[in-house]
């Protein structure tokens, strides 16, 4: 009874990026309580950016060290884990620039007091005059820290806690739009209900896998798959449940139905955060789960996930054609991209891993730039997201129309953009792994998906500007920076991708301890 505890060894240096982010988030919550409202925004913004940069430095410093599995077997800080952490932090910095922007609209993109009933006089008054809630900064930091943990979790239970830590702030952030608040609240409610449902599936899956393997860490599961006497049905049902939870976050068909509504309803900077960072986290978790824990079920996985990937690519592409709202269009495009990423997951090879990580980063930068432009095209009622409003934008403001055209071409996967290199890498990895039928589906869906992108391009350049075509606002410094970073990264990763490709290959493989 009174025997002493074997103390866990915690490698604080390896955990420091997460610890910094959690710490900054806690300080941010205290700032909300104790710092006067006037200077809160500045304090929060600089605090969050500093925290992210410090976390990035710690990730890079850890990069030169050996792989670490710390807190017994709970957290694995390995090459891919560090790469994904760095990707989430960098994309997080860019999203934070969008979140912190206040010059486009009085008080920023967020509502001041979300508890005020929407569409009342008090609400109209606060929309016109008061500055937005600054709780968004600590919430974003909590979400990013949770994402880091999700990518480095070496244990299903840790993964579940991380899933909740990064989901809960995102549900909240979705509800905080300054304009069209009912839409935003509806989006948050949908995301929350479906998200908790997916979490429940994930948890059920953990229980079944525990029943099968008797353990919940990936290494033990892998060992159990090799020599467990238990019935394999338990394993497959459990794995299916886990996959439902993860594919929900990754927005793969048929678990995608929340995506368009949430992307449309959420404040655009939050949509950008979800499209870039959540995608990295969800696929980071999925990659580790498949590569470390379940790679011995590769054959069965490829049948099921392959089908999901094909449906995801095709449904995303076909439904994107019918969209009339730019945010919904980008949402369906994000669904189709989840399908391409699944190809990388399914390859279950070193090449599949490195090409998936490249794709995540490339797509993240492009989608951030795309949503940065969406925040700029606005009129007196806020963002003009209906596609008909974008007609003739090329005449009104050629610079931003050109930038957006370039971004759309990158989405379509034209050469000299990051979209091409990324897709090429992932398709090549899939062919290596003998998944030719998936690649064929991928190419077909890319061809379909090019149509809606080109339709927007044609609309911007070849239509006459109508009376309702809004002007493009002059971006504030932060949106401009986000836009430039996103676009330049898209270009550089298309023209000279070798630096990042080397980094992804240098990251090596997931540690299995």
CA atoms lying within 13 Å on the CB side of residue 199: 17
- Other CB atoms within a 10 A radius of the CB of residue 307 amount to 11
- Other CB atoms within a 10 A radius of the CB of residue 505 amount to 16
- H or E element in which residue 484 lies: helix 477-495
Cβ 249 to other proteins, closest distance in Å? 17
Cβ 34 to other proteins, closest distance in Å? 6
Cα–Cα distance, 342 to 316 (Å, whole number): 13
Tokens standing for residue 191: 């995301």
Q: Which is nearer to other proteins, 66 or 231 (CB)?
A: 231
Cα–Cα distance, 249 to 272 (Å, whole number): 15
Contact at 8 Å (CB) between 173 and 111? no
Could you list the residues that contact other proteins (CB under 8 A)?
A: 1-8, 10, 15, 22, 25-26, 29-30, 32-34, 70-75, 113-116, 133, 135, 138-139, 142, 145-146, 149, 155, 157-158, 161-162, 164-165, 168-169, 171-172, 175-176, 208, 211, 214, 229-231, 233-234, 237
Cβ 395 to other proteins, closest distance in Å? 40
Cβ 368 to other proteins, closest distance in Å? 24
CA atoms lying within 13 Å on the CB side of residue 267: 28
Q: Which is nearer to other proteins, 35 or 448 (CB)?
A: 35
Burial class of residue 283, CB neighbours in 10 A (0-12, 13-18, 19+):
buried
Cβ 313 to other proteins, closest distance in Å? 24
Q: Which is nearer to other proteins, 26 or 474 (CB)?
A: 26
Cβ 197 to other proteins, closest distance in Å? 12
Q: Which is nearer to other proteins, 1 or 499 (CB)?
A: 1
Cβ 170 to other proteins, closest distance in Å? 10
Cβ 33 to other proteins, closest distance in Å? 3
Rg, C-alpha atoms of the chain:
22
Q: Which is nearer to other proteins, 208 or 410 (CB)?
A: 208
Q: Which is nearer to other proteins, 34 or 299 (CB)?
A: 34
Q: Which is nearer to other proteins, 113 or 388 (CB)?
A: 113
Dihedral, 68, 291, 213, 73 alpha carbons, nearest 10: 10
CA atoms lying within 13 Å on the CB side of residue 291: 30
Q: What are the residues whose beta carbons fall under 8 Å from the beta carbon of 401, sequence distance 6 or more?
A: 393, 394, 460, 461
CA atoms lying within 13 Å on the CB side of residue 125: 5
Q: Which is nearer to other proteins, 417 or 512 (CB)?
A: 512
């Amino acid at each position: 009874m009174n025997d002493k505890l074997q103390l866990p060894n915690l490698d604080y240096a390896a955990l420091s990026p997460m610890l910094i982010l959690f710490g900054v988030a806690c300080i941010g919550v205290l700032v909300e309580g104790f710092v006067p409202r006037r200077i809160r925004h500045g304090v929060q913004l600089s605090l969050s950016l500093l925290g992210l940069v410090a976390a990035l430095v710690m990730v890079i410093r850890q990069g030169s060290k050996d792989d670490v599995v710390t807190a017994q077997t709970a957290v694995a800080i390995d090459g891919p884990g560090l790469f994904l952490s760095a990707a989430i932090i960098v994309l997080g910095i860019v999203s934070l620039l969008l979140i912190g922007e206040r010059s486009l609209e009085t008080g920023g993109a967020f509502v001041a007091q979300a508890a005020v009933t929407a569409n009342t006089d008090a609400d109209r008054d606060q929309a016109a005059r008061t500055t937005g809630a600054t709780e968004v900064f600590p919430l974003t930091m909590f979400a990013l820290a949770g994402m880091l943990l999700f990518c480095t979790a070496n244990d299903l239970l840790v993964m579940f806690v991380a899933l909740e830590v990064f989901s809960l702030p995102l549900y909240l952030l979705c509800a905080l739009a300054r304009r069209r608040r009912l839409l935003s609240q509806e989006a948050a409610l949908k995301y929350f209900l479906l998200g908790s449902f997916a979490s429940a599936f994930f948890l059920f899956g953990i229980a079944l896998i525990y029943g099968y393997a008797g353990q919940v860490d990936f290494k033990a599961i892998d060992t159990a798959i090799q020599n467990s006497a238990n019935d394999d049905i338990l394993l497959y049902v459990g794995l299916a449940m886990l996959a439902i939870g993860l594919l929900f976050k990754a927005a793969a068909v048929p678990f995608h139905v929340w995506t368009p509504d949430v992307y449309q309803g959420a404040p655009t900077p939050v949509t950008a955060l979800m499209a870039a960072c959540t995608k990295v986290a969800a696929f980071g978790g999925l990659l580790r789960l498949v590569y470390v824990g379940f790679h011995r079920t590769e054959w069965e996985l490829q049948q099921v996930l392959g089908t999901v990937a094909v449906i995801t690519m095709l449904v995303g592409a076909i439904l994107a054609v019918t969209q009339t709202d730019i945010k919904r269009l980008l949402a369906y495009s994000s669904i189709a991209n989840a399908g391409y990423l699944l190809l990388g997951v399914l390859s279950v090879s070193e090449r599949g891993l490195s090409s998936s990580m490249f794709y995540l980063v490339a797509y993240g930068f492009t989608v951030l730039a795309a949503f940065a432009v969406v925040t700029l095209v606005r009129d007196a009622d806020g963002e003009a997201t209906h596609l008909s409003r974008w007609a003739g934008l090329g005449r009104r403001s050629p610079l931003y129309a050109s930038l957006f055209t370039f971004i759309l071409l990158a989405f379509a996967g034209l050469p000299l953009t990051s979209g091409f290199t990324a897709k090429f890498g992932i398709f090549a990895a899939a062919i290596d792994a003998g998944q030719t039928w998936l690649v064929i589906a991928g190419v077909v869906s890319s061809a379909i998906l090019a149509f809606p992108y080109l339709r927007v391009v044609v609309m911007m350049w070849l239509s006459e500007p109508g009376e309702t075509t809004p002007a493009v606002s002059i971006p504030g410094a932060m949106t401009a920076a986000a836009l430039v970073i996103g676009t330049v990264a898209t270009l550089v990763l298309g023209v000279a991708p070798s630096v990042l490709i080397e980094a992804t290959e240098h990251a090596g493989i997931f540690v299995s301890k």
